[in-house]
């Protein structure tokens, strides 16, 4: 049966109509079928509607991955509201900033998490209701905010506000590695179009089981839900502590699709995979940065029948490109081409298209382009801009808004894209522009490092010096041996001026990516101190 969903919550409701008994969502030992999930989504929508939630008002969800997290998201949009998933790894001040920034009216959380917020929640001026999940506890006071318990809500009459597909559905906050995090506003159309597109190229179907290992506040993590619900598949929610937990869940739940970010793939590639996983795992997908070639080769050796999808996306456009598995051997470093129903272009600073192999900025147009940044017209105007008139169809008068990614890429003669680097992360050293990902790729190829991050820091004569922080692949790591290998493999201007060894895993941002900016800040005065 064709899925004709236009609004986000219709993904669940229509799947329930098609096959209500099919498994939809698993968290730990609990599983919900689509009919049960749809009923709980309607119940939550009835509950928040009874609280007086107005059209497009915000409901924040500050929880780990659990059944209630998902029910609250889709129930909020059914009620005509906008959900704001808050990464559970964020600190109290960061959470409070998000709640205040987008004027959250309702907060769904747990007694433990609300206690952890403490006084930080008091300046959240628009917050009127807190809905607590889990065990009931004694009521707390938060400046007149009314407390409710999840089980207090009963399914009642719910007359949702009228919503169309270009209305807001969610606000996803970026990790905020520099300055305050920004809220990316996504419409129903953005997310449903993304679900249909991703499910199409991954070949998802109702018999799939997808593992949601990434945070649901991360666009790629949220995409596991929307893609699965579009086709009536099952999602397994996992809050893992160790990479081995991921492998155990893959085997126990007979997962058919896993999407992860490079740091997790690097860790998984170093483990022994149970033979049984290869019998049911159909594909693996990488997003959030380039997977090192050595990691990709290691995974493919372990999983010879599993299809690898190398993907690229940005929160401001939900999803962007993918490399078909049949191209991986020929183009292992490519991020592929545009996903279905989407167009990406590589443009020069003057807005004209780049020639093959000429680096330029990736610009995306189409149904997946977000509505902008919440309450930030200045940053929205920087990133979301009209397409140059020369690129619009002849005779079209109205401007079309596209998103300028800030990422430098190039395309080969066949139109396949290659990531060069973030414009704001490119290292300018001795007159050269060096991509940190390229330095990292060469370091991984030595097989001496477990994980690494390259970045630039101020230097009195070079402008910026390249610093590489690395952990050992196994046993001890000799910085001199690694430096010698890099000198053998890199042009002189790409060789790090300093290698710093770490005995502990490198820091991650809330989305699980290695926090290159934090490492750069920690080493910022490295050469000032050397001069002194």
Give the pLDDT mean for 47-73: 96
Question: Which DSSP string do the residues of 396-430 spell out, in sequence order?
Answer: --S--EEEEEEEEEEE-TTS-EEEEEETTT-EEET
Confidence at residue 460, expressed as pLDDT on a 0 to 100 scale: 80
Confidence at residue 177, expressed as pLDDT on a 0 to 100 scale: 35
Domains and CATH numbers, the chain: 33-187 (3.40.50.980), 240-421 (3.40.50.12780), 425-531 (3.30.300.30)
Question: Which DSSP string do the residues of 91-104 spell out, in sequence order?
Answer: -HHHHHHHHHHTTE
Confidence at residue 176, expressed as pLDDT on a 0 to 100 scale: 42
Give the pLDDT mean for 11-33: 98
pLDDT tens digits for 324-362? 999 999 999 999 999 999 999 999 999 999 999 999 999
At 459, is the pLDDT very low, low, confident or very high (cuts 50, 70, 90)? confident
Confidence at residue 517, expressed as pLDDT on a 0 to 100 scale: 87
Give the Å distances, CA to CA, from 109 to 20, 113, 116, 134, 505: 28, 6, 11, 9, 29
Residue 16 has pLDDT above 70, yes or no: yes
Give the pLDDT mean for 468-474: 93
| Contact predicate 34/9, CB 8 Å | no
At 178, is the pLDDT very low, low, confident or very high (cuts 50, 70, 90)? very low
* Beta-strand relationship, 449-459 and 417-422: unpaired
The rounded distance, in Å, linking the Cα atoms of 242 and 144 is 40
Greater confidence (249 vs 445) lies with 249
Lowest-confidence segment of 57-71, 189-203, 309-323 by average pLDDT: 309-323
Confidence at residue 466, expressed as pLDDT on a 0 to 100 scale: 95
Lowest-confidence segment of 149-158, 288-297, 361-370, 469-478 by average pLDDT: 149-158
Residue 422 has pLDDT above 80, yes or no: no
Which distant-in-sequence residues (6+ apart) come within 8 Å of 522 by Cβ? none
Residue 158 has pLDDT above 70, yes or no: no
Give the pLDDT mean for 112-136: 90
DSSP letter for 292, please: P
Greater confidence (193 vs 432) lies with 193
Give the pLDDT mean for 309-334: 92
Give the predicted TM-score (pTM) of the model: 0.85
pLDDT tens digits for 517-532? 899 999 999 887 655 4
């Amino acid at each position: 049966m064709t899925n004709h969903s236009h609004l986000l919550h219709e993904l669940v409701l229509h799947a329930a109509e098609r096959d209500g008994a099919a498994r939809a969502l698993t968290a730990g030992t609990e599983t919900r079928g689509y009919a049960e999930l749809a009923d709980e989504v309607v119940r939550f929508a009835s509950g928040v509607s009874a609280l007086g939630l107005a059209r497009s008002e915000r409901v924040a969800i500050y929880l780990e991955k659990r059944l209630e997290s998902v029910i609250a998201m889709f129930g909020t949009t059914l009620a005509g509201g906008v959900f704001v998933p808050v990464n559970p790894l964020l600190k109290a001040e960061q959470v409070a900033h998000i709640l205040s920034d987008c004027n959250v009216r309702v907060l769904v959380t747990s007694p433990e998490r609300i206690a952890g917020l403490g006084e930080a929640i008091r300046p959240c001026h628009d917050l009127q209701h807190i809905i607590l999940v889990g065990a009931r506890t004694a009521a707390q006071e938060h400046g007149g905010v009314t407390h409710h318990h999840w089980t207090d809500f009963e399914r009642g009459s719910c007359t949702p506000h009228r919503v169309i597909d270009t209305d807001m559905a969610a606000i996803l906050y970026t990790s905020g590695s520099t300055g305050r995090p920004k809220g990316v506003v996504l419409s129903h159309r953005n997310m449903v179009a993304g679900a249909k597109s991703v499910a199409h190229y991954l070949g998802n179907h109702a018999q799939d089981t997808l593992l949601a290992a990434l945070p649901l506040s991360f666009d790629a993590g949220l995409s596991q839900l929307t893609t699965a619900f579009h086709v009536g598949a099952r999602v397994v929610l996992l809050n893992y502590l160790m990479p081995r937990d991921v492998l155990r869940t893959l085997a126990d739940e007979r997962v058919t699709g896993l999407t992860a970010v490079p740091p997790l793939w690097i860790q998984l590639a170093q483990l022994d995979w149970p033979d049984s996983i290869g019998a049911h795992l159909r594909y693996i997908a990488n997003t959030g940065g380039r997977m090192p070639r050595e990691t990709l080769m290691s995974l493919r050796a372990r999983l010879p029948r599993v299809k690898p999808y190398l993907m690229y996306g940005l929160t401001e456009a939900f999803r962007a490109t993918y490399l078909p598995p049949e191209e991986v051997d020929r183009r292992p470093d490519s991020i592929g081409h545009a996903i279905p129903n989407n167009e990406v272009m590589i443009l020069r600073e003057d807005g004209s298209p780049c020639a093959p192999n000429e680096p330029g900025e990736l610009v995306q147009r189409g149904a997946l382009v977000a509505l902008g940044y919440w309450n930030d017209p200045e940053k929205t105007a920087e990133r979301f801009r009209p397409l140059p008139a020369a690129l619009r169809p002849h005779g079209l008068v109205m401007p079309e808004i596209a998103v300028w990614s800030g990422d430098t890429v190039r395309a080969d003669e066949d139109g396949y894209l290659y990531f060069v680097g973030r414009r704001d992360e490119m290292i300018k050293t001795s007159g050269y522009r060096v991509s940190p990902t390229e330095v990292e790729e060469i370091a991984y190829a030595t097989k001496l490092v477990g994980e690494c991050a390259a970045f630039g820091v101020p230097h009195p004569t070079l402008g910026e010096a390249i610093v590489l922080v690395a952990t050992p692949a196994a046993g001890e790591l000799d910085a001199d041996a690694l430096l010698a290998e890099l000198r053998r493999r890199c042009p002189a201007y790409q060789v790090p001026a300093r290698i710093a060894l770490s005995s502990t895993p490198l820091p991650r941002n809330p989305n699980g990516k290695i926090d290159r900016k934090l490492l750069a800040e920690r080493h910022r005065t490295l050469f000032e101190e050397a001069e002194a």
